[in-house]
Amino acid sequence: MIKSVCGYCGVGCGLEYEESKLIGDISYPVNEGSVCSKGVSELISMQTPTRLLRPMVRESIKKEFTISSWDSVLALIAKKIRATSKDKIGIYLSGQLLTEDYYIANKLGKGFLGTNNVDTNSRTCMSSAVVAYKKALGADFVPLRMDDIFKSNLLILAGANTAEAHVVFHNQIKKAKKQGLKVVVIDPRKTDTAKVADIYLPIKPNSDIDFFNLLSKRIIDEGLYNSDFVQNHTNNFEQLKNKFKRLPVTKMLKRTGLSQEEFDSFWNLYKESENIITAWTMGLNQSSQGVDKNLALINTHLLTGKIFKSGNGPLSLTGQPNAMGGREVGGLSTMLAVHLGFDDESIKRVSEFWHTDKIDNKPGLTATQMLDANLDILIICHTDPLYHLPNRNRVEEQMVRV
């Protein structure tokens, strides 16, 4: 029996494979044996006749691939690495990699090839949440788990279509509803997720900041904020309070497209809920205002103190199962390893641990910057930039030059 993790979404379900059968891993805490149609299709990928089983090489983009041996391919890659400089090498990783693979790839690039051009496709979906968590909480971490919904009274889903994107988690939401969980769905589109909602709020696109700031203002105006938590664990509350006094409430509500009755109905449920989780994904993250949208959401939890305790908190739902694990081990060009930067002390610690003297002291190129950098070598792992980066024609032109 082979145990692994499904790579199709941010839930990261445990799977078991044996004798051409694939089932959910009952012992895995995330899914407890449950598996969705996307997870089952992993078996199709493994059995497809076009699946790569051996290394393939071609001399140029115009020629066909030929089968090669592992020894020959590794020797060829090593030869090309030796023939160029460290600044001309990039490693493009993926949130579908296991943590251990992420760690080794990061160690190879930064520790032994001497290049900090080690980045990930997770940057294109999770960077807004990462920056917001760092600004609001001081660190890049999610302060709760998916199964906290079973200890909560209210789940707010903002810009998240869990019915299609996080199916096993969505089934857990339906199970939690049977135990009393209330659900609010905030989304311009009435998706299948809205079918489980007690309240559906069809806000206008790009009005998320207005909505969550209106919520924060109502929390302050009605004295629902946690004064002890605010005083002991937050900064600049008085400035925020004074600023929110001047908010154009009517204009902001109009921008959301919600009526006063709709907002009040949501507020009545919100203020009666002892434990609250707000979950979101790409509907908030993939925006030019992504960080500010995340911060406006997180602020509601800081004001109420509904954070850092069971059944409460801002829950960022990732697009891939190991977007967080990759960051934990350093799979970003802007960090060295395990959330350490490129300061002298961090470099010294990591160099001693890795037994290397090749670590550079400046951040490397991000995933998108690598494609503009005229690299000689780009190592791509478990991802396809042609499909997930914007402007495919431009990306293809850049990759042909590598």
Q: pLDDT tens-digit profile of 290-344? A: 999 999 999 999 999 999 999 999 999 999 999 889 989 999 999 999 989 999 9
Q: Is residue 71 in some structural domain?
A: no
The percent helix, strand, coil of the chain (3-state, each to 5) is 45, 15, 40
User: What pLDDT is recorded for position 61?
Assistant: 86
Residue predicted with more confidence, 77 or 40: 77
Count of beta carbons in the 10 Å neighbourhood of residue 265:
16
Q: Write the CB contacts of 132 (distance below 8 Å, at least 6 apart in sequence).
A: 290, 291, 294, 295, 298
Range of the domain at 33: 2-47
Q: Quick one: pLDDT band at residue 133, thresholds 50, 70, 90?
A: very high
Q: Within this chain, do residues 111 and 214 fall inside the same structural domain, yes or no?
A: no
Q: Is residue 79 in some structural domain?
A: no
Q: Residue 391, by phi and psi: left (phi above 0), alpha (psi -120 to 50) or beta?
A: left
Rg of the chain (C-alpha set): 23
User: What pLDDT is recorded for position 47?
Assistant: 86
Give the amino acid at 89: I
Q: Within this chain, do residues 172 and 253 fall inside the same structural domain, yes or no?
A: yes
User: What pLDDT is recorded for position 108?
Assistant: 98
User: What pLDDT is recorded for position 60?
Assistant: 86
Q: Within this chain, do residues 217 and 239 fall inside the same structural domain, yes or no?
A: yes
Q: Within this chain, do residues 200 and 167 fall inside the same structural domain, yes or no?
A: yes
Q: Within this chain, do residues 331 and 301 fall inside the same structural domain, yes or no?
A: no
Task: Copy the structure tokens of residue 105.
Answer: 């790839």
Q: Is residue 162 in some structural domain?
A: yes
Q: Quick one: pLDDT band at residue 131, thresholds 50, 70, 90?
A: very high
Q: Within this chain, do residues 340 and 266 fall inside the same structural domain, yes or no?
A: no
Task: Copy the structure tokens of residue 48.
Answer: 């497809």
Q: Is residue 257 in some structural domain?
A: yes
Average the pLDDT over each of 24-33, 42-51, 197-206 and give the range with the smallest value.
Answer: 42-51
Q: Within this chain, do residues 117 and 131 fall inside the same structural domain, yes or no?
A: no
Q: Is residue 63 in some structural domain?
A: no
Contact 92, 379 (CB under 8 A): yes
Q: Is residue 182 in some structural domain?
A: yes
Q: Within this chain, do residues 186 and 230 fall inside the same structural domain, yes or no?
A: yes
CA 209 – CA 349 distance, rounded (Å): 41
| Stated pTM of the model | 0.92
Q: Is residue 75 in some structural domain?
A: no
Contact 392, 145 (CB under 8 A): no
Q: Is residue 58 in some structural domain?
A: no
Q: Within this chain, do residues 232 and 338 fall inside the same structural domain, yes or no?
A: no
Q: Within this chain, do residues 208 and 89 fall inside the same structural domain, yes or no?
A: no
- Boundary-marking domain end, from 271, 297, 316: 316
Q: Within this chain, do residues 92 and 29 fall inside the same structural domain, yes or no?
A: no
